[in-house]
Amino acid sequence: MLSFWEKNSFLNYDVIIIGSGILGLSVASELSEKFPEKNILILEKGILPTGASTKNAGFACFGSLTEILADFKNKGEDETLKLVYDRLAGIEILRKRLTDEKTGYENNGGYELITEKDLSKLEEINEVNDKLKSLIGNNVFEISNEKIPEFGFDAGKVKALVYSKYESQVDTGELMKNYIKYVNERGVTILTGCEVKEVQIKNSKPEVVVSHNVFHEEIKFSCEKVLVCANAYTTKIFPEIKVNPGRGQVLVTKPIDGLRLKGVFHYDEGFYYFRNYKDRIIFGGGRNLDFENEESFQFRYNFKIIDDLENKLVNMILPAEEFEVDMIWTGIMGFTENKLPLIKDIDSKIISAISCNGMGVALSGYLAKKVIKKYF
Ligand SMILES: Cc1cc2nc3c(=O)[nH]c(=O)nc-3n(C[C@H](O)[C@H](O)[C@H](O)COP(=O)(O)OP(=O)(O)OC[C@H]3O[C@@H](n4cnc5c(N)ncnc54)[C@H](O)[C@@H]3O)c2cc1C
């Protein structure tokens, strides 16, 4: 049971944010920067953030050529260009807020590997560049086939390479550690091991219910506004919010002597992605091999996908190098039906902001800005 002191000092806030992923931390930062007097609490169910933000591959990217072309078809050109704009703006917010040193931000460029089936898409490169020019001012994508032998890819499989100098990489671990530190320094309280079970409105104020992991009794936190940043898990608290989990499998190699790859690399509309981390390769993706099983909240390995990633490393990406896989892990993303981020009032005092999809490193900063501008 709680003491008088705990009830007096720990349970009342101006704003409670559910989830300490990159979006929850961005929302807390934006709010505390604009309203330093506000008393803000983040409730996190894991000991560490436990969704996508500490599990991702650390691409600071806004969409590869084939991904943007696919988005033009599925989301329409206007929505796609808006998203690209928001991602670019988000990266700049993150860099300014945390500094490149604290995020491990490095601009080594990005490359898309084009295999036989996507070769015809290269015909659209000029058109895409023209459309992106209004946002970036220069050509974004250029063909860079001379790099295929330089990086050591199997030229029988990688038919072309599309380069973008605007893509960068971060150190996901350092970024998240320093983001937590940043919000702490701004006076935001983070309580971990606090899984929110429900949010009720009591006497016209939101009451956020958490089960105490020692006393096994309900703790009720009270506030003026709740911001729900629980991504895929939002649907477990608010079933009316339709968001599907999408698991991602990732592997990292042991250090590779003389590794030639540097930068971020994608192929197949962004479904596969790899990068160097110092002299290792981090490689993830392949959800499209098994969408059904990867629509899951369970942090489980899918060896159909992991085997495919390893095969692609051996046969296409590092055909001439000896390497060993050091470890594998999984993370859970959240996807809305239309694959767009969703900001929605569940109640006038409960707002959800979710679904950065596969690009939350870039998108979260600007999405958070929009949320705070609209509701505060
Ligand atoms: C394998 C993988 C690779 C990726 N690679 C990249 C990449 O290279 N670049 C990129 O931009 N994006 C990438 N992404 C996507 C990116 O990680 C996400 O878009 C982003 O992290 C989403 O952030 P979020 O804060 O919305 O969600 P999350 O990080 O999922 O945060 C939600 C938080 O809410 C907490 N929570 C859930 N339910 C509750 C509850 N009931 N009570 C309290 N807390 C709760 C969770 O524990 C979690 O910490 C990748 C994702 C994965 C899985």
Q: 91-117: per-residue pLDDT in tens?
A: 999 999 999 999 999 999 999 999 999
The rounded Å distance from CA 358 to ligand 1 centre is 9
Return the ligand 1 atom nearest residue 23 CA: 25
Residue nearest to atom 14 of ligand 1 (CA): 358
Is pLDDT larger for residue 1 or for residue 23?
Answer: 23
Counting ligand 1 atoms within 8 A of each CB, the residue from 42, 48, 53 with the most, and so the one to mutate, is: 53
Output the 3-class SS for the chain: CCCHHHHHHCCECCEEEECCCHHHHHHHHHHHHHCCCCCEEEECCCCCCCCCCCCCCCEECCCCHHHHHHHHHHHCHHHHHHHHHHHHHHHHHHHHHHCHHHHCCECCCEEEEECHHHHHHHHHHHHHHHHHHHHHCCCCCEECCCHHHHHCCCCCCCCEEEEECCCEECCHHHHHHHHHHHHHHCCCEEECCCCEEEEEEECCEEEEEEECCCCCCEEEEECCEEEECCHHHHHHHCCCCCCEEEEEEEEEECCCCCCCCCCEEEECCCCEEEEEECCEEEEEECHHHCHHHHCCCCCCCCHHHHHHHHHHHHHHHCCCCCCCEEEEEEEEEEECCCCCCEEEEEECCEEEEECCHHHHHHHHHHHHHHHHHHHC
Q: Which of 47, 54, 218, 231 to mutate to test the pocket of ligand 1 (most atoms within 8 A of CB)?
A: 231
Atom of ligand 1 nearest to the CA of 332: 53
Cα–ligand 1 centroid distance for 281 (angstroms) = 21
pLDDT digits (tens, 9 = 90+) for 212-240: 988 889 999 999 999 999 999 999 999 99
**What are the tens digits of pLDDT across the range 283-307?**
999 999 999 999 999 999 999 999 9
CA of 233 to the centre of ligand 1 (A): 10
Q: pLDDT per residue over 344-363, tens digit each?
A: 999 999 999 998 888 999 99
pLDDT band of 198, cuts 50, 70, 90:
very high
CATH of 4-54+174-241+340-375, one of 1.10.1530.10, 3.50.50.60, 1.10.357.10, 2.40.10.10: 3.50.50.60
Atom 51 in ligand 1: residue holding the nearest Cα: 56
CA distances (Å), origin 125, targets 120, 122, 129, 362: 10, 5, 6, 23
CA 56 / ligand 1 centre spacing (Å): 8
Res. 370: pLDDT tops 90? yes
Q: What is the mean pLDDT of residues 134-152?
A: 94
Residue 213: per-residue pLDDT: 85
pLDDT band, residue 9 (cuts 50/70/90)? very high
Residues with CB under 6 A from ligand 1: 18-24, 43-46, 49-53, 55-59, 194-196, 229-231, 233, 237, 248, 250, 284, 331, 333, 356-362, 364
Name the residue with the closest Cα to ligand 1, atom 33. 19
Minimum CA distance residue for ligand 1 atom 37: 230
According to CATH, the superfamily of the domain at 107-166+243-335 is: D-Amino Acid Oxidase, subunit A, domain 2 (3.30.9.10)
37-52 pLDDT, tens digit per residue, is: 999 999 999 999 999 9
Atom of ligand 1 nearest to the CA of 46: 47
Q: How large a percentage of the chain has pLDDT more than 90?
A: 95
Q: What is the pTM of this model?
A: 0.97
Q: How far is the CA of 126 from the centre of ligand 1 (A)?
A: 34
Contact 86, 363 (CB under 8 A): yes
Q: Which atom of ligand 1 is nearest to the CA of 275?
A: 8
Q: Tell me what percent of the residues of the chain surpass a pLDDT of 70.
A: 100
The pLDDT confidence band at residue 137, using thresholds 50, 70 and 90, is confident
pLDDT value at position 357? 85
Closest atom of ligand 1 to 236 CA is 41
Domain ranges of the chain: 4-54+174-241+340-375, 107-166+243-335
Shortest-distance Cα residue to atom 15 of ligand 1: 358
pLDDT at 163 > cutoff 90: yes
pLDDT exceeds 90 at position 177: yes
pLDDT of residue 355: 85
